[in-house]
Structure 1
Amino acid sequence: MSSKPTVVIIGAEVGGLAFAITLKRRLGFEQFTIFEKASEIGGTWRANIYPGSSSDVPIHWYSLSTELRPSWKKSHGLQPEIQAYWIELAEKHDLYSHIMLSTKVVSATWDPAKQLYEVLYEEIASGTRHSTTAHIVISAVGILEIPKIPYEIEGVSTFKGESFHSADWRNDVEFHNKRVAVVGNASSAAQFVPAISEDSTTEVVNFIRTPSWFNTRPHIPYTDTQKWVFANVPFAMKLHRSLIAFEMDAPVLLPRSERARKARVENMTKYILDHTPRKYHDKIIPTYPPGCKRIIADSGYLASFYRPNVNLNFDGIAKILENGILTTKGEVIPFDVIIYATGFIGDNYPVDVRGMDGTSIREYYDRMGGPTAYLGTALPGFPNFYMMTGPNTGTHASTLFVEEVQIDYCLQLIKPVLDGLVSSFQVTSEATYIYNKRLEKRLTDSVYSQCSSWQRVDGTGKIYNPFPGPTFLYWWWLRQPNWDHYKAVNAGRWLRQRYLHMLYGTIKAFGLIVCLWAYRMQRRALLKVLETYYRKLLTKIQPILLGVKR
């Protein structure tokens, strides 16, 4: 190849940072640049600064496997602690020298002749644009990158008070002696409603369109003894992490029986009713099965409904007024602040990336009826382009673990390019089609098809986010590339090396078989010698024995 290979990573969220750390640690590779549109790294953990923001997954499994930390305070990490962890790792691995903050990638276009991407980026403060090139582009923007404001509700932009999305939290907004409307009741609301309602002068009305299922998720502090054991006893922390992973993945490994599903509904229903005021019991239980939408971790949300300054409203919103909200029942409720906890737009890729024939990822998604990828990682027509947490990679478990699985997979594809042995790899349309048909069958037969959800295009279309199986299965499918599913360009040297490597492996295996065979033959020969000696011995002593008997 004519120039030294380079890598561009779009986004300094945890997947992008983990990819960069792995490039340096395992390949010793330094020719990469991370473009981050925000003023700091961290992605979700930089943006979601609302009170109570924390990990849903136990923090020891929501840490980088190569950077375990014995000093986590509780079983689930809070936003400031998690953000500090990633800043510390970025400093430890000297990532800031590779990161361009407050700089967004405007476009990345593949040049088939040069076998690289032309990347256009913009300094957000000045609007100045520059260009660079990259042989490999890694997308680490995440699937939940664009906050969703419900503009379908009339009057959203007419409200005269303070209003914002929970992902764009306003620390300058004061809630003391204020009337606050919270629109939405999923993960974010479940975390910040208990926090903001601790002040009894803050009147909170939580507007709920569709009830959610809840599991208890207490934040259990680690004792000093536990932290000492994690830090000083070999493998203790890794064992703890493995047990968490097993506990979270085991229930999904085997299909639930009808009896088990019924028992699960009964138990979760009982949990919700036992932890909420009786006046909400006829409206608070979902009508869809658990798991169709994300099950919410309850760490105080349901208990907050007992507070006199917290009320739930199930009437529906007809219109946003200048001074409040008009419900579908005609009631006008005045508010000083409206907080939208209404999720994200997940089915629209936010960067203009164009592949072989000039088609953009957005256009490819539209053509496929929604977000589509091979193993949630590669796209046909987009050589040397790989996605972290792409379509259908959402699991019930650790997102960071899924990203590490993807990184290990991608490294096997990009190393030959970085070594100058291949110009590009591109997944085939046929492999992508077969894989997604396989997913579609699993998803159609799964719980995800039994309700309207943000994980589906327009709520009821293609299911584009969840992975239909245990995390272990995803790891198994990505443990190594199926090279028959990829087209390689300028791959002569790599193919020869691969052939020689396979030949060497075959010779080693053959040699092992020969050695085992020879060992077995030696054993047989030894047994034959012993048998001959034994027979001779018997021949000699038999007359003696017979003489004794006589």
Structure 2
Amino acid sequence: MLFNRSGGLALAIKLKQQLGYDNFTIFEKGSDVGGTWRDNVYPGCSSDVPMAFYSLSTDSWDWPHSHGNSAEIQDYWQQLARKYTIYPRVQFNTQVISAVWDDSTKLYQIFLENVTTGVKQTFEAEILVSAIGVLEVPRYASIPGRETFKGEMWHSARWNPKNVDMRNKKVAVIGNSASATQFVPRITEDPSVNVIEFCRTPNWLLPPTRSTHSPFRRWINRNIPLAPLIFRWLVYWRFELFYLMVFGSPLMRKLSTKATTSYIKAAAPKEYHEKLIPKYPIGCKRIIFDTDFCIALHRPNLDLNWDGIEKFVEDGILTKKGEKIPFDIVIFGTGYAADQFPLKVLGVGGTIQEYFDGKKGPQAYQGVAYPDFPNFFTICGPNTTTGHTSVIFTNECQAEYIIKLIKPILDHQVVTVEVKHEATDTYNEKIQARLSTSVFTNCVSWYRVDGTGKISNIFPGAATLFWLWLRKVRWQDYTGLGLQEWLHRRQRKKLNRLLKWITLMLVLVVGATFVWFHPGVLKQTSSWKLLT
């Protein structure tokens, strides 16, 4: 049983491909598949990673551009859901209210509600996989008086729900991170839309990398065997090199900082240079590839405001410098609540959030498993964001790992699989030790609990290291009902296979040795064939 997002679809597809298994149900609170790319429909919404790599390894596509927009990416996932007959396994418009482990039946009781009709139901599952990730609940800036504002207000993750006409309006944009740098250039293309963007901290802006694929490039992708795989690997290694340039060493980071600073100075208006160039090291926050944001800064209908917001008033915003600025619309581009688990999942001794609170922030084993939560696994769990590469790749790594964990359960060889406390703590001590000397400690970011606490979202290494760590299951780190017996049976089978191979090799060696020292045997054998 799965909660839907691209990670959930990836796992569902792999279950069907690798195990021929389709006895699963996906609960999706939306009306269609697509997750992030269904929900985020703000102007300019697109991927940060080229689509050759921001797609499943098993399913390339004829992308018209290097980076897909939200509609194209959702269409991709819709086509995959049709191709692999996933739609019949999805229960749409269904929100998971909570899930409770029943230790007597070894099942999860899952409490659901139809978001359209309000009808409630209960579902039982042996295995529970949450693939909703950490970027699920929009975060609004903690600014007093929000409820007093009489104009229109929305978050970029829930774009313009009333379909408000923005022409000839004064718009306040709060935040200047990834989403804002994508939608601000688009809404300011109309000169009648006057935008003031309230910024708190600048971000490192890298030069644009988006391009349109030529007809010849697309022909190669469609017609030359292995071409999509080669394009995919080229992007993969490009981003691994990018990791080395930004995160690999202080010297490489210094060179990257110099190049990025030069770009900002060349592309942005001079009056913004001092404010736009961050004081923290590059890589500490999410790195943003420019999508015409620097071009938009030259437009007369866009201004940046660094004064800070004191509070909302009925008709606008009061800054910390005492200036009252009237607005018709306020748009939050302030990201997501990434340090809270968005679902109530109750295991043997408490909820996931209570476990997080006890550890002073989210943690898991390999970002996938949690002690005291039998048969519960996550995709996009704690410390699985890489910050530099494709989340689809890391989702696939986690999906492959989860399949290894649940296969003995699906084969009815094991009843429960649960990670040990000691293994989880040891793994996270290793994670946090690596992070303690990383660039991520040098600023406030959503990678950290409450912005400044435990680093709970980012993975401390390259994508290759992520793959290596999840390539095999360390079964000694797990416990469960029937698990040890299954491991013993598996070990005996391996030993029996090894003994068979050793016996075969011994027979071959003895036979070859005998023939070597008794060459006449072969002649005698030949004569027997002639006689017959």
Same fold at TM > 0.5: yes
Which residues of 2 match residues 119-268 of structure 1 at below 5 A? 119-150=110-141, 152-170=142-160, 172-252=163-243, 256-268=248-260
How many Å apart are 1:470 and its aligned residue? 0.3
1-side partners of 2:188 and 2:507: how far apart?
A: 73
Q: 1:430 to 1:516 in 2, by over 3 A?
A: farther
Q: Which residue of 2 aligns with 1:336?
A: 328
1:414 is aligned to 2:403: no
Q: Deviations over 1:330-387 (max 9, x none)?
A: 1111111110000100111111111112x00010010010111000000011011110
Which of residues 33, 42, 55 is equivalent to 1:41?
33
Structure 2: any 5+ residue segments left out of the alignment?
519-532
1-side partners of 2:125 and 2:242: how far apart?
A: 42
Over the aligned positions, Cα root-mean-square deviation in angstroms equals: 2.1
How many Å apart are 1:423 and its aligned residue? 0.1
Q: Is the 8 A contact 1:9 1:138 kept in 2?
A: yes
1-side partners of 2:154 and 2:515: how far apart?
A: 79
Q: Deviations over 1:516-546 (max 9, x none)?
A: 97799799989xxxxxxxxxxxxxxxxxxxx
2-side partners of 1:471 and 1:322: how far apart?
A: 48
Q: Which residue of 1 aligns with 2:392?
A: 400
Which of residues 264, 275, 285 is equivalent to 1:272?
264
2-side partners of 1:476 and 1:76: how far apart?
A: 27
Secondary structure, counterpart of 2:111 in structure 1: strand
Q: Which residue of 2 aligns with 1:353?
A: 345
Q: Which residue of 2 aligns with 1:370?
A: 361
- The aligned amino acid for 1:59 is M
Q: 1:23 to 1:257 in 2, by over 3 A?
A: closer
1-side partners of 2:230 and 2:479: how far apart?
A: 40
State how many pairs are aligned: 516
How many Å apart are 1:35 and its aligned residue? 0.6
1-side partners of 2:237 and 2:504: how far apart?
A: 35
Q: Is the 8 A contact 2:417 2:483 kept in 1?
A: no
Q: Is the 8 A contact 1:158 1:320 kept in 2?
A: yes
Q: 1:266 to 1:519 in 2, by over 3 A?
A: farther
Of 255-264 and 426-435, deviating more is 255-264
How many Å apart are 1:500 and its aligned residue? 2.9
How many Å apart are 1:514 and its aligned residue? 4.9
2-side partners of 1:487 and 1:81: how far apart?
A: 43
1-side partners of 2:41 and 2:472: how far apart?
A: 37
Q: Which residue of 1 aligns with 2:428?
A: 436
Q: TM-score normalised to the size of structure 1?
A: 0.90
- The aligned amino acid for 2:128 is V
Q: Which residue of 1 aligns with 2:286?
A: 294
How many Å apart are 1:120 and its aligned residue? 1.2
1:9 is aligned to 2:16: no
Which residues of 2 match residues 482-497 of structure 1 at below 5 A? 482-491=474-483, 494-497=486-489
Deviation above 6 Å: which 4+ runs of structure 1?
515-526
Secondary structure, counterpart of 1:281 in structure 2: helix
Q: 1:161 to 1:24 in 2, by over 3 A?
A: same
Q: Is the 8 A contact 1:13 1:140 kept in 2?
A: yes
Q: TM-score normalised to the size of structure 2?
A: 0.93
Q: 1:211 to 1:523 in 2, by over 3 A?
A: farther
Q: Which residue of 2 aligns with 1:535?
A: none
Q: 1:518 to 1:397 in 2, by over 3 A?
A: farther
Q: Is the 8 A contact 2:419 2:477 kept in 1?
A: yes
- The aligned amino acid for 1:224 is P
How many Å apart are 1:326 and its aligned residue? 1.1
Q: Is the 8 A contact 1:253 1:469 kept in 2?
A: no
Q: 1:113 to 1:330 in 2, by over 3 A?
A: same
Q: 1:366 to 1:516 in 2, by over 3 A?
A: farther
Which of residues 50, 66, 70 is equivalent to 1:79?
70
Q: Is the 8 A contact 1:182 1:338 kept in 2?
A: yes
Secondary structure, counterpart of 2:330 in structure 1: strand
- The aligned amino acid for 1:165 is H
Structure 1: any 5+ residue segments left out of the alignment?
1-7, 527-550
Q: Deviations over 1:77-128 (max 9, x none)?
A: 0111001111111122221211111111111111122111111111122222
2-side partners of 1:247 and 1:57: how far apart?
A: 11
Q: Is the 8 A contact 2:244 2:252 kept in 1?
A: no
- The aligned amino acid for 2:37 is W
2-side partners of 1:522 and 1:183: how far apart?
A: 84
1-side partners of 2:515 and 2:321: how far apart?
A: 89
Of 286-295 and 494-503, deviating more is 494-503
1-side partners of 2:20 and 2:41: how far apart?
A: 34
Q: Which residue of 2 aligns with 1:382?
A: 373
**Larger Rg over CA atoms:** 1
Q: 1:72 to 1:519 in 2, by over 3 A?
A: farther
Which of residues 296, 319, 330 is equivalent to 1:304?
296
Q: 1:256 to 1:119 in 2, by over 3 A?
A: closer
1:463 is aligned to 2:455: yes
Q: Which residue of 1 aligns with 2:530?
A: none
- The aligned amino acid for 2:426 is I
Q: Is the 8 A contact 1:164 1:338 kept in 2?
A: yes
